[in-house]
């Protein structure tokens, strides 16, 4: 049986919902296994949400690292140890999700930067959202020119990313600014969330205006991140010929390069799901 793995990074017990939503969305979309790498105080909380998640409390933040932050040599050694522990599992994983629940803690950010570098060295697709986008905003070169990176900003995050690479982002440029932002980052995929979702790989722009839920509540972006990860994992394994396939289904599976079909398909799935959930319960994110 083919196995799909998702990895997401989380900071502390204050931010446990986001990695849960991303992970459970990936599982509901069709991933077989999901790994959540989190800060030690978050592990038990996240695990209690679902027995389906594989939770690894390997990460540390400034409060839990247990070292005087002024002792740079010891801090550096501890961060390297954490990175080695996380990345030692990369041969078993297919996609890395960065951002849901990450926080902006300096130890977490530095650890995550190094994990991203290792993921790129392994040719691993990246889905970057939330505080992962803050990391990219402050360090644009970390994903510049890496075509397997997918950035999923909301309106405010999109504006800040544009400012970080000097791309004009006035309202009059709204429909094509995603293309320019993608080009500025070396043709990463931009999936700009909004009332109209705009997707660009730096070569073309597609817009999804499918009606979604009338509610805009926390967690919807995390669900999209998890769905993106599953699609990318399918595509990576399709390209690696990990399974036999029916030729008629190839356009639905060949998503490793995250083409325009993939982006619009994911948005349509999620918006339709959110709308259905709202019609059923008037408040839910997902139908149960």
12: annotated binding-site residue?
no
193: annotated binding-site residue?
yes
Burial of 78: CB neighbours in 10 Å, binned 0-12, 13-18, 19+? middle
219: annotated binding-site residue?
yes
217: annotated binding-site residue?
yes
195: annotated binding-site residue?
yes
172: annotated binding-site residue?
no
196: annotated binding-site residue?
yes
218: annotated binding-site residue?
yes
265: annotated binding-site residue?
no
163: annotated binding-site residue?
no
194: annotated binding-site residue?
yes
63: annotated binding-site residue?
no
74: annotated binding-site residue?
no
Q: Which helix (H) or strand (E) holds 285?
A: none
Q: What does the alpha-carbon distance between residue 30 and residue 24 come to, in Å, rounded to a whole number?
A: 10
258: annotated binding-site residue?
no
Q: What does the alpha-carbon distance between residue 194 and residue 189 come to, in Å, rounded to a whole number?
A: 16
99: annotated binding-site residue?
no
162: annotated binding-site residue?
no
220: annotated binding-site residue?
yes
114: annotated binding-site residue?
no
154: annotated binding-site residue?
yes
What one-character-per-residue DSSP string does 148-214 give?
TEEE---HHHHHHHHHHTT----GGGHHHHHHHHHHHTTS-EEEE-SSSEEEE-SS-EEEE-----S
30: annotated binding-site residue?
no
182: annotated binding-site residue?
no
Q: How many CB atoms lie within 10 A of CB 141?
A: 9
183: annotated binding-site residue?
no
144: annotated binding-site residue?
no
Strands 33-39, 53-59: pairing kind = parallel
Any residues with CB less than 8 A from the CB of 182 and at least 6 apart, and which?
188, 189, 190, 200, 201, 202
60: annotated binding-site residue?
no
Binding site as annotated, residues for (6S)-NADPHX: 101, 154-160, 222
Binding site as annotated, residues: 101, 154-160, 193-197, 212-222
Binding site as annotated, residues for ATP: 193-197, 212-221
């Amino acid at each position: 049986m083919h196995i799909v793995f998702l990895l997401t990074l989380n900071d502390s017990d204050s931010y446990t919902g986001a990695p849960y939503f991303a992970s459970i969305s990936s599982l509901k979309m069709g991933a077989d296994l999901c790994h959540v790498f989190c800060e030690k105080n978050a592990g038990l909380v996240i695990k209690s949400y679902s027995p389906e998640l594989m939770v690894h409390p390997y990460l540390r933040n400034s409060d839990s690292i247990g070292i005087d932050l002024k002792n740079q040599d010891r801090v550096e050694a501890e961060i390297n140890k954490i990175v080695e522990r996380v990345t030692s599992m990369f041969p078993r994983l297919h996609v890395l999700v960065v951002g849901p629940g990450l926080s902006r803690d300096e130890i977490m950010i530095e650890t995550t930067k190094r994990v991203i570098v290792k993921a790129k060295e392994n040719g691993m697709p990246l889905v970057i959202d939330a505080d992962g986008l803050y990391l990219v905003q402050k360090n644009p070169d970390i994903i510049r020119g890496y075509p397997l990176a997918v950035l999923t900003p909301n309106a405010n995050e999109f504006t800040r990313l544009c400012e970080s690479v000097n791309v004009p982002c006035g309202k009059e440029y709204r429909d094509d600014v995603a293309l320019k932002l993608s080009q500025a980052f070396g043709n990463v995929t931009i999936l700009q969330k909004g009332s109209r979702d705009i997707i660009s790989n730096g070569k073309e722009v597609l817009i999804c205006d499918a009606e979604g839920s009338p509610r805009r509540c926390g967690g919807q972006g995390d669900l999209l991140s998890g769905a993106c990860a599953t699609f990318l994992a399918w595509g990576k394994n399709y390209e690696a010929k990990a399974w036999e396939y029916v030729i008629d289904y190839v356009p639905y599976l060949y998503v490793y390069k995250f083409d325009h079909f993939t982006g619009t398909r994911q948005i349509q799935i999620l918006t339709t799901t959110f709308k259905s959930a709202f019609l059923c319960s008037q408040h839910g994110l997902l139908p149960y």
